[in-house]
Amino acid sequence: MDFYFLLFSLFFPRILLLVYFFLIGHFPHSTIPFLGDVLMGIFVPRVLILIFIYQNLGINNIWFAAHLIALVLTYFGGTTRTVRWHRRRYADGDF
């Protein structure tokens, strides 16, 4: 896998998959069918990139760990600013 693909997919996974597909003509090698690549690229691109890394580089790679941490922070953590905003907005009962 290309270094720039791994680096930019940490920050812009959905955009990178789209650019990679249109410039190169295919997704990175995986055992997922093309329709699965497209659907996962739309709905859960970080999981798809984790699958690409797992199948091409293995689980004992620093990129796998970095992308796994990014996935956990993105989907479950958010930033403190987002958490503060949610607390402030929903504490007043405004839905």
The owner of tokens 């970080």 is 46
Q: Which amino acid is at 32?
A: I
Q: Do 26 and 83 touch, CB atoms closer than 8 A? A: no
84 in Cβ contact with 90 (< 8 Å): no
Q: How far apart are CA 14 and CA 11, in angstroms?
A: 9
The CA distance from 45 to 16, in Å, is 10
Q: Who has greater pLDDT, 76 or 67?
A: 67
Per-residue pLDDT tens digits for 18-72: 998 888 888 888 889 989 989 998 999 999 999 999 999 989 999 999 999 998 8
